[in-house]
Every structure is written in structure tokens, then in C-alpha cells.
Amino acid sequence: MRVRAAALAVGITIAGASAWAAEPTKGGADLARGEKIAAEVCAACHGPDGNSPLPENPKLAAQVAAYTAKQLADFKADKTRKSPIMSPMATPLSEADMKAVAAHYAAQKPRVGEAHDKATVSMGEKLYRGGNAATGVPACSGCHGPAGAGVPAQYPRLSGQHAQYTTAQLRAFRSDERSNDPNQIMRQIAARMSDREIAAVADYIAGLH
């Protein structure tokens, strides 16, 4: 691994290349390769450090690495999570590439946004922390963590995510358009949520940290 990372660094002229030799791998992932892929292919939409500026492109900074790698594999398979934008991005990536770019983003510093809708933020907070007993929606915090940090390997980070993206994903789970959640966890939850609840919790999550 060390030899390969060093060889790669020689061929690349991006600033910071010299730092790569210090920590070429993390959990078996090739960080130098991850940084190269991110800079050359992904940065245009997800931002140079994974804090995407546009609300339709998800932030990837500090995301649980195993989750990111799984999403890339799912986009490549093009069955349970489809995106005309991401599918062609994921298709050329090998499993090792996915692991590498996921480890790169996991190591980036996240930038949190803020909730915008004062009228619904307390509803969003209530739902996030306590769920909705009347409709059987469980507390999001139970899996995604009280501050939305996620749980490595199991549950993705939600903290600070763009509300527009979160809303789109919850709607996609609700309509079964996105069906890559293990044991239908998120589809069953989203099916019990109203449009108003989805918008409120997505807005709350944007400022959660």
C-alpha cells in the first residue's frame, strides 16, 4: 500500500501531495487515491471539502465512511437507489475507489447550516427527538444520534445536511423510489410522515449539530 501511494503521489501535482505519504491508508482505504478522485471528479458538485454549496447536492464531509461507500455501490448497481447524475459518477469506481473516496470525505471538517423556518422548527425538533407516537414515527435520534452525528457503519450522519436534499430523500423513501435501506427501515418511517413533518424535520436537521 505504501509503495503504491508513494508512486501515485509522484504522478500528481495537486498541492498537499507531500502530506499524503504521512498517512497513506486508513482502515485499508487509500486516502491519497480518495483525495485525487474527490478533487478531480466530485468537487465540482460536492465542494472541495465535501461541504457542497448547492442545496440539491448533499454534504459528504464527516459522513460515516461505510455509509458513503455503500451509497456509491448502490448508485453503481442502479437498482435500489437511482440517480441520473450519480449513477454515471459511480460506475467507473472500483470497490477500492469507493472505500478510498469515502474515507477521504469522512476525514473532512463538516460545516453545519441553519434552520430557516421559525414556525416549524419546534415541530421538527420534537419529531427528531421524540418521534410521533400517534402515527408511530420513532425518534430519529434513536438511530442517527442526538446531534445527528450518526453511528459508524450503521447509521448515516444527518447533522447540518441541506434541507432540500433531506426532504427529497425522505420523499423518495416514502414513495419507494429509494429502496436501499436495510430491512425497509427508512421506508416504513417515511411512510408515516406527512409533507409538513418531512419539511419541518429536514429544516431542523440543517441546523442540528
User: Is residue 30 within 8 Å of residue 4, measured between CB atoms?
Assistant: yes
208 touches ligand HEC (CB under 6 A): no
Q: Which of 30, 169, 187, 206 binds ligand HEC (CB under 6 A)?
A: 169
Nine-digit cell string for 134: 400517534
How many CB atoms neighbour CB 109 within 10 A? 9
d(CA 153, CA 151): 6
127 touches ligand HEC (CB under 6 A): yes
Size of the site for ligand HEC (CB under 6 A): 40
137 touches ligand HEC (CB under 6 A): yes
Nearer to ligand HEC, 6 or 122 (CB): 122
d(CA 100, CA 89): 15
Report, in Å, the least distance between residue 32 CB and ligand HEC: 15
* Footprint of ligand HEC on 138-157 (CB under 6 A): 138, 140, 142-144, 155-156
Choose among 62, 48, 71: nearest CA to 157. 62
Nearer to ligand HEC, 17 or 82 (CB): 82
User: Is residue 90 within 8 Å of residue 75, measured between CB atoms?
Assistant: yes
Residues 6+ apart with CB under 8 A from 121: 115, 200, 203, 204, 207
Nearer to ligand HEC, 3 or 133 (CB): 133
Q: Which residues bind ligand HEC (CB under 6 A)?
A: 37, 41-42, 44-46, 56-58, 60, 68, 70-72, 83, 85-86, 89, 101, 127, 137-138, 140, 142-144, 155-156, 158, 166, 168-170, 180-182, 185-186, 189, 201
